Structure 1
Amino acid sequence: MSNEQSGDVILAGDKVYLGQVRRDLAPVYRRWLNDLRVARTMGIISYQGLPLTDEDEFDWFDSVRADKGEVMFGIYELGAGRPVGNCGLSETRIPNRSAEFGIAIGEQDARGKGYGTEATRLALDYGFNILGLHHIWLKCVEFNHAGIRAYEKAGFQQAGRLREAWQLGGKQYDVLLMDVLARDFESPVVKELLDIPGDE
């Protein structure tokens, strides 16, 4: 039975849907994060080190489940139900209605297909229209050009720059701060699902 058949779909777009992160997929998540093409833009190499083990991923899963301020989604291909990545919002319980967004497309053959952009828009829709957030932001290392393009397509704009704040391979790189406000975001799914009238 696929995730779609089991009712695990939280929000669906045209290409992907957001579902639950699953403990049984810890070996898949570990494989993704041990891929240097994924890890290099996530800071894992610098602060945690590689290789990660299945136990590391089980620990991560348990910590996410225990943290009520963290909303984590699995990203699945629509139709096939194949897991292709994860995304989430952290620090969502802080009273200022702001959260940090993060995403990783783990499957190499799932990159460059618009999955990341669509998953980002779905997560923003959930954050703004289900959680009632006002401001969502992210950090992105300057050499992650595909990520920057995807974030901009999803509605983020550059808000600042942390100079030489990212170390990789003996070099320092700038980190871009990007954000989006609820009033600047048009709901692709949630408002229609909940029958929320638009601004007229």
Structure 2
Amino acid sequence: MITLQPFTKEDYAQLMEWVDNPAFLLQWGGPRFTFPLDERQLDDYLSWESPGRQVWKAVDPTSGRTVGHIELGNIDPRNRIGTIARVMISPDARGKGWGEQMVREAVRYGFETLHLHRIELRVFDFNNAAIRCYEKVGFQKEGLLRECRRFGDEYWSLWVMSLLRPEWLKQKQEEGE
């Protein structure tokens, strides 16, 4: 099972290597980042103040190799809501199930450690592999934010997806965990 460890300055070079074009940077980081991704932007990213926010690298416990990146942030303790964001799998590790494991572990942390009731995320409507991954974990599509991000002359749409604690608990029970 994948392990999530704190993302630190020592991980910058690898992440910057994975983000090799402006379109991919927008998919991963949203409009806050500009291409090329650099240390200054990542320093700023890690300094964002948000109680309970976790920024992780995902590590293959067998090899010790970093295979991904994920964030659980925008924690709203009053309403017990959090947001999964900035999910990325290393280009050479895609299609091997790491994304699902990584998202499952972030969800587990959100529900068990932070005692959240709802975890949500946004994903571009054309990112079918990510959508399938999120659906395997139990996320459901709630609505489409139509043409809400601009890339060059194109407008991209985002799905809002969520998973509620009772749904997650039921899924765990059905899986025998």
- Distance in 2, matches of 1:110 and 1:187, equals 30
- Distance in 1, matches of 2:35 and 2:52, equals 27
Report the residue type matching 1:94 in the other structure.
P
Whether 1:104 and 2:72 are equivalent positions in the alignment is: no
- Distance in 2, matches of 1:183 and 1:148, equals 21
Whether 1:116 and 2:102 are equivalent positions in the alignment is: no
Report the residue type matching 1:29 in the other structure.
L
Cα RMSD after superposing both structures: 2.4
Report the residue type matching 1:25 in the other structure.
D
Question: Which has the greater radius of gyration?
Answer: 1
Q: Is the 8 A contact 1:41 1:141 kept in 2?
A: yes
Distance 1:151 1:41, change over 3 A: same
**Number of residue pairs matched by the alignment:** 174
Distance 1:138 1:169, change over 3 A: same
Structure whose residues are more often helix by fraction: 2
2:125 corresponds to: 142
- Distance in 1, matches of 2:133 and 2:127, equals 10
Whether 1:51 and 2:36 are equivalent positions in the alignment is: yes
- The two structures have a TM-score, normalised by structure 2, of 0.86
Could you tell me which of 105, 127, 130 is aligned with 2:113? 130
- How many Å apart are 1:40 and its aligned residue? 4.1
Whether 1:42 and 2:28 are equivalent positions in the alignment is: yes
- How many Å apart are 1:48 and its aligned residue? 2.7
2:51 corresponds to: 68
Deviates more, 1:76-85 or 1:27-36: 27-36
Whether 1:30 and 2:16 are equivalent positions in the alignment is: yes
> Where in structure 1 are there 5+ consecutive unaligned residues?
1-12, 192-197
Q: Is the 8 A contact 2:25 2:34 kept in 1?
A: no
Whether 1:175 and 2:166 are equivalent positions in the alignment is: no
Q: Is the 8 A contact 1:72 1:88 kept in 2?
A: yes
Report the residue type matching 2:6 in the other structure.
Q
Q: Tell me the alpha carbon deviations over residues 68-91 of structure 1, each in whole angstroms, 9 at most, x when there is no partner.
A: 331122111121111122112112
After TM superposition, the structure 1 = structure 2 runs for residues 177-192 of structure 1, keeping only pairs within 5 Å, are 177-186=160-169
3-state SS of paired residue (2:105):
helix
Q: Is the 8 A contact 1:38 1:105 kept in 2?
A: no
3-state SS of paired residue (2:55):
strand
- Distance in 1, matches of 2:92 and 2:170, equals 28
Q: Tell me the alpha carbon deviations over residues 125-168 of structure 1, each in whole angstroms, 9 at most, x when there is no partner.
A: 11001110000001111111111000000110001111111222
- The two structures have a TM-score, normalised by structure 1, of 0.77
